[in-house]
Amino acid sequence: MVVYEDLKIANLVKNHHLAKSISDASWYQFTEWLEYYAKLHGIACIAVPPHFTSQNCSNCGQAVKKSLSVRTHRCPHCGYIADRDHNAARNILAKGLEMLGAIVNSTEGHASYRGAALTESGGDPKATGESDLWISRLI
């Protein structure tokens, strides 16, 4: 399973100091390839909303406000200390697992979650090796 933040690139490039670097990174193309290869190899690929992934404590769930310059997450509620990015990664994974659970536990045979589809076919993979088990842009 691959879980990543569904970042809105158009919003990121509004920062004129970072716009060229962000555009050069080809993030949109990267996510397109990521979803393509996940589908090709039968791996669940989940794009989660980026809201509060670095602000919420991954240990207790409480909001811990911090500026972008603060690189260490320190939770005053539970005492958890971690690198800001590690804390965010744990939150992203938790969101992805939650979204996957909501789809898998759906009563429908072919589930849909807020407009995007997860399809499960019990049959053989396609001749190209593609699988129908994939999740894309869930929100």
Task: Report yes or no: 65 and 116 within 8 Å, Cβ to Cβ.
Answer: no
Q: Does the pLDDT of residue 61 top 90, yes or no? A: yes
Q: Does the pLDDT of residue 49 top 80, yes or no? A: yes
Mean pLDDT computed over every residue of the chain: 78
| More confident call, 97 vs 124 | 97
Alpha helix segments (H runs only) across the chain: 9-12, 19-24, 27-40, 84-104
**What are the sequence ranges of the domains in the chain?**
2-117
Report residue 10's pLDDT band, with 50, 70 and 90 as the boundaries. confident
List the end-to-end C-alpha distance of the chain, in Å, as a whole number: 17
